[in-house]
Amino acid sequence: MAKNLIIVESPAKARTISKYLGRGYQVLASVGHVKDLPKSKLGIDVDNDFQPHYVVIRGKSKTLTEIKAQAKKAEKVFLAPDPDREGEAIAWHIAEELNGKADNVYRVLFNEITEGAIKRALKSPGVIDMKKVNAQQARRVLDRIVGYMLSPLLWKKVRRGLSAGRVQSVAVRIICEREAERDAFEPVEYWTITANFQGPNPPVFEARLQEFQGAPLEIHSQDESDRALQALQNATFTVSAVDKTEKRRNPPPPFITSRLQQDASRKLRFSAKKTMMLAQRLYEGIEIGKEGPVGLITYMRTDSTRISNDSQTEAADLIREKFGDQYLPDKPNVYKTSKSAQEAHEAIRPTSAQRDPESLKPFLEDDLYKLYKLIWNRFLASQMTKGLDEATKVTIQAGEYGFRATGTVEKFDGFRRIYVEGTDVPERGKGALDPQTVANDEETKRLPELAVGDDLSLVEIEDQGLIPKQHFTQPPPRYNEALLIRELEEKGIGRPSTYATIISTIQDRQYVQKEEGRFKPTELGQTVNNRLVTYFPRIFDVAFTARMESELDDIEEGEKNWVSTISEFYTPFSKDLGDAEANMEDLKGKEEPTDIVCDKCGQNMVIKWGRHGHFLACPGYPTCKNTKPFTKDESGTITVVEQEQETTGEVCEKCGNAMVVKQGRFGSFLACSNYPECKTTKPLSLGVKCPAEGCTGDLAQRRTKKGRTFYSCSTYPKCTFAIWNKPINRACPKCQAPFLIEKYSKQAGKSIECYQESCDFQEAG
């Protein structure tokens, strides 16, 4: 019988640790949180120091029973959930359920899942850090108060089923404000004039008109451009200055969570959620041939750039071996960390630099390999020498006008031997790069050898020696995931562990949507944002939210009391809530008359607010149920949007008319085209055949009476097959099961797995 019990969060991590420790230890997984606030009510006693009422999470009773049973048999119990605030809260809840025996219950932190790190941690166990627990409790209580008290207000005034989040709503505000900037943006015309010159030495190079009479020149119209071109027609072009400077390029620090998410978004096109799910798997352990499961990276939720002395030494040895002494700095590189960073953590790095990506490629899925390579390259680059460039600026005089050409020559690559920032490596050219991450092309061009006094000749391209071009200033770009994470980080909104959740939540709630990979607020998102900002200006202020994050850090450091922090927040919040209840406009009951005539009954239609935003409706409802989508331009002119009904080839089993795809409160469904005379409806098939033996039906999405989504056979009640997870019409590549399923967890995010429990196939979602 095992003398010691270790409790971790993940089954994968449990398997890896079990391999290292042998029979003297039993390792169980809590599979995330075991207790939380109840879903059916607030669960916080606001009149009694905001005391939370925790309950066992639905489906976790069996897990807790097993943990308690094994804990009674163990000499020592080591609580080892993830080494962050949330993990500390999980450990505390489990300790509470163990009912005492505090003298044999310990807290251990596994910052990496390797044999040496696990055994060292077990030799020096600690106790649960209540300051971390209280910081997590404060965050949970704050979020619950905002969510559970604001959501009913939105249900009443805007639309049932909406929800508000303390941090997520601020992210929506940032996106909405960027959209408002774009709407208000007025483009400004400007012109550039470029020339291609030939000097005494090749190659031909390009320069741009920059100066007039020694001052910067701006050209804002074609007339101004034509005047400059006329003046330059017979000009003599002479090199008036050549300035060369050396530029040292510093290596980047190893990854923290936000930088990993940004780089994975830019270079690998991974969402933040996908990046964190893959990183979790790399941390918990991957089967590496005969070695078995091995944790390949350190803990992936961190805001510290610190790395251990041992890892620095290992990296230095590898750099010397692979690249030579010239790539190794005189002393190890050390990087500054933000004041709020948890220095107990290291940066995200390989658990062993000796495990290079190519040696692991046979054991890793493609996406895992790409992410591991990104982390490995960045870590090794952080310990390498600086790059050295020679930057050249050439000034060309043409009468009163001056042209300028710039170029950079790489003299020593240094860390760039394996890692380049701001570019699409290693797969260059695949997809559009973010304009804010790409270096100016001019700065990277190689210029010929030039000297002051050299005469230059124009090289004509398409019969043009001087090339004018019209431009217009562009509005600020919408945020993609990388830019949004950077904005949240710079403004102090959220923490490393929350960015992926924030981004997926605001999309799931349909407050924002992606267009060409960038976030655009929906009408619903803008409507909710306008009301929250109007009636709760303090709570949804960016600076205030950042200040709250700082106060949570103070609670963790023991500098603030969590109850007093919540109290300071709650008093003005409850007052604002009362004002909003009394004064916020009720969109659900508002009707705006129009001149659009209902084509079914002849009445003038009205603009109403519904689940998907504003729409035209007949005022004769419920006698006439005619509705239409519309658009409204800046002048207020309304245009009806005619929609074609999507046919399916199926016919109504009651009246024989075609069945069409329609949208309802629970998504797409099939309905008779002869509605309202015939009201036949049926679920929309997912294209996945029911796996029940002898059944010919398809799987379709349905809802329980309580609103939970599930998937069952279209022939129900004849066939009763049903599952909770969404089926995907793709055979399992491992066991050839007819379909896969989509799963989601707070810790790992979305994943794709085989629906057969006996098969362990899994990939990133």
Instruction: Give me the active site residues, please.
Output: 299
DSSP letter at 202?
Answer: S
Could you tell me the two tokens for 141?
């209580």
* Dist. CA 137–CA 502, nearest whole Å: 19
DSSP string, 717-747: TS---EESSEEESS--TTT--S-EEEEEETT
> What is the DSSP secondary-structure string of 643-678?
-PPEEEEEE-TTT-PEEEEEEETTEEEEEETTTTT-
CA separation, residue 179 to residues 14, 35, 174, 351, 521 (Å): 46, 40, 9, 42, 7
Q: CB neighbours of 290 closer than 8 A, spacing ≥ 6?
A: none
Which residues have C-beta within 8 Å of that of residue 78, sequence separation ≥ 6? 4, 5, 6, 7, 106, 107, 108, 122, 125
Tokens of 133: 């627990």
Nearest Cα neighbor of 740 from 726, 749, 728 is 728
State how far the Cα of 375 lies from the Cα of 279, in Å rounded to an integer.
10
Instruction: State which amino acid sits at residue 226.
Output: D
Q: Are strands 189-198 and 627-628 parallel, antiparallel or unpaired?
A: unpaired
The three-state secondary structure class of 265 is: helix
Q: Is 128 helix (H, G, I), strand (E, B) or coil?
A: coil
String of DSSP letters for 420-471:
-TTS--SSTTSSPPPGGGS--GGGGPPPPP--TT-EEEE--BTTBSEEEEEE
Is 276 strand, coil or helix? helix
Those residues with Cβ within 8 angstroms of residue 69's Cβ, 6 or more apart along the chain or in another chain: none
Does an H or E element contain 610, and which?
A: strand 604-610
31 phi-psi bin (left φ>0, alpha ψ -120 to 50, beta other): left
253-273 exposure pattern, b = at least 16 Cβ within 10 A, e = fewer: bbbbbbbbbbbbbbbbebbbb
Separation of alpha carbons 111 and 89, rounded Å: 17
Please list, in sequence order, all residues whose beta carbon lies within 8 angstroms of the beta carbon of residue 534, skipping any fewer than 6 positions away: 584
Question: Checking DSSP bridges between strand 76-79 and strand 4-8, what pairing results, if any?
Answer: parallel
Give the DSSP letter of residue 297: B
Nearest-10 crossing angle of helices 523-535, 168-184 = 110
Tell me which H or E stretch contains 685: strand 685-689
- Which residue is associated with the tokens 């980080």? 489
The residue behind tokens 């009479």 is 213
> What is the C-alpha separation between 4 and 22, in angstroms, rounded?
11
Partners of 520 in the beta sheet?
513
The pair of structure tokens assigned to 734 is 């491992």
Residues whose CB is less than 8 angstroms from the CB of residue 678 and which lie 6 or more positions away in sequence, other chains included: 652, 654, 655, 657, 672
The answer to whether 732 touches 756, Cβ cutoff 8 Å, is yes
Which residues, including other chains, have CB under 8 Å from residue 603's CB and lie 6 or more apart? 597, 618, 619, 620, 624
